[in-house]
Amino acid sequence: MPILFPICGNLPNNTYTHQGQTYTLKQHGFARELPWQVLDQSTQEGASLTVGLSSSDRTLADYPFEFELAFTYKLQGNALVIQQRYTNRSAETMPFSTGFHPYFKVADKSQLQFEIPSTQFYNQVDQTTYPFSGSFDFSWDEIDAAFGKVTGQTASVTDTAQKLRLAIDYDPIYSTLVFWTVKGKDFYCLEPWTAPRNALNTGEHLTHLAPGASLEVNVTMTVS
């Protein structure tokens, strides 16, 4: 489940500008590629693991902000709770977006039923907006569907073949849900993002964290 930070999606030509200087960030940012440090682990009231990532010369070359991230993954019953803390260690306000890119295994996508709190999506592949009423056309070679302006904090997928329902609950800061899959592959992704792609340039739903401030947000995935 890759962590998306400090951007979700991609930037045009993988570039953005800050204070007159141009920087390069690859799709979804660098957090998914860097090693995280184990900070804590526990088996009290469920099993949990806390990992951290801090700014370094490597990150500062692409993103000129000092930061500390701490994520706690907690298994409680049928739920995975992801508690996140983002801290700005810079002397200036830190802009960012963040999200997750979980992969879920599926044998037959035609047996999936969706409840997503939005009535339309933008398909990045053909750059067209489509109405949404709970299903996708899996004959497409690729679906890269961005649901903006979500009207609720829960999305779910029911796999009728396996008789399993996956629910993803997310804090209100998550403005966008992305559904992604590729024809012939036995997975789908349902991704909560705090901002759409290119937010670092457009400012749309971008989070701005004051110097020394921390932000704590949660995402929970439950299977029933």
pTM (two decimals):
0.95
Is the preceding omega at residue 117 within 30 degrees of 0, hence cis?
no
45 pLDDT band (50/70/90 cuts)? confident
Neighbours of 50 (CB within 10 A): 18
Handedness of CA 182, 96, 33, 27 (dihedral sign): positive
Domain boundaries defined on the chain:
3-223
Among candidate residues 134, 129, 124, 177, the one with its CA nearest the CA of residue 152:
177
> Given this model, what pLDDT does residue 46 score?
85
Cα–Cα distance, 110 to 55 (Å, whole number): 43
- pLDDT, one tens digit per residue, over 96-155 is 999 999 999 999 999 999 999 999 999 999 999 999 999 999 999 999 999 998 999 999
CATH no. for 3-223: 2.70.98.10
154 burial class (0-12, 13-18, 19+ CB within 10 angstroms)?
Answer: middle
Q: Are 97 and 193 in contact (CB under 8 A)?
A: yes
Tell me: pLDDT of 159 over 90.
Answer: yes
> Given this model, what pLDDT does residue 64 score?
97
Tell me: pLDDT of 174 over 90.
Answer: yes
Where do the H-state alpha helices sit in the chain? Answer: 57-60, 199-202
- pLDDT, one tens digit per residue, over 14-29 is 999 999 999 999 999 9
For residues 194-223, give the mean pLDDT: 97
> Given this model, what pLDDT does residue 99 score?
98
DSSP letter assigned to residue 14: G
Q: Could you give the percent of the chain with pLDDT greater than 90?
A: 98
Q: Are 55 and 89 in contact (CB under 8 A)?
A: yes
